[in-house]
Amino acid sequence: MAQKKPAALIIGISGCSSSGKTTIARLLRDIFPSGTFVLHQDDFYRPEHELPYKNGLLDWDCAAAIDIPAMAESLTYIRQHASFPPTLDSKEDKNSVGACPVPDTTIAALRSRVASALGPSHPLRTGSLRLCLLDGFLLYPPSVAAVHPYLDVRFFLRASYQRAKARREARQGYVTIEGFWTDPPGYVDKVVWPNYVAEHAWMFENGDVEGEYRWDVLEREGIKVQRGLDVDGDMEQTLEWIVDALLEELADRPMEHGQSLS
């Protein structure tokens, strides 16, 4: 009898730039069973000469900067093979996100929690199911609707303007197709933050991205957020919340995906 192909559960982890999504994705990859892998939206940037301009600056932080059809094609491959597309050379995994703000003891405890929750016959442990963690600054707005059908679970992280600005401006730069990019002066105020607000205002009351969520919208779109926290959440608490939420998802449908997607 031919062996079934492994299935993929695609987990969206999105939020504003510098909200901690890449750090969270990398930690989840280490906490969940081997076979879990990260796909970065940033690996689908168009060549620099194709990027639009905003306020006189190259705009890396908009939908037009992303090759969305290529991203959808990679997600199709993941649906079919439950593995990272072999033709995709990840530049984003070469970028530093700074020192990990989550203690090693917490990471070890979460790894033990996951191991205890997933028995030896669970599809994640046997390899018949794999998690793809899709890390991206722009996953849920209408401008990237082509990727929505691929997202099985959707997490959203936010940050205040002050924290996002401080974290973004503290970065050394980014590996790109052309070489290396460093944000020019004023980039957050002229490009990053205005784009984030424009693309995500629909998720918040009165369009205030530092205010209350529109809970009816989040429920309709299946977007999971932390409740009862200030706009700037704690990274350790966020990681624990996502781990618990994923374990709930896996408990509800461990075999469903292992069968229907293979």
Q: Domains in the chain and their CATH numbers?
A: 7-260 (3.40.50.300)
242 against 98, higher pLDDT: 242
Mean pLDDT within 166-184: 72
State yes or no: is 104 an active-site residue: no
Q: Between residues 139 and 48, which one has the greater pLDDT?
A: 139
* Each residue's pLDDT tens digit, 17-41: 888 899 999 999 999 988 999 999 9
| Mean pLDDT, the chain, whole residue set | 88
Record the tokens describing residue 10, joined without a space.
Answer: 């695609």
**Rounded-to-integer distance, Cα 53 and Cα 51, Å:** 7
Residue with the two structure tokens 């940033």: 42
The pLDDT tens digits for 69-120 are 999 999 999 999 999 898 887 765 655 556 678 999 999 999 999 999 998 8
Closest CA to 256 of 121, 76, 129, 84: 129
In percent, the amount of the chain with pLDDT more than 90 equals: 69
pTM: 0.90
pLDDT score of 259: 41
* pLDDT at residue 251 is higher than 50: yes
Q: What is the dihedral of CA 17, 22, 25, 26, to 10 degrees?
A: -170
Q: pLDDT: is 161 or 99 the higher one?
A: 161
| pLDDT the model gives residue 90 | 73
Q: Which of 42, 43, 59, 61 is catalytic?
A: 42
> How far is Cα of residue 136 from the mean position of the Cα atoms in its chain?
4
Lookup: tokens for 179:
């070489």
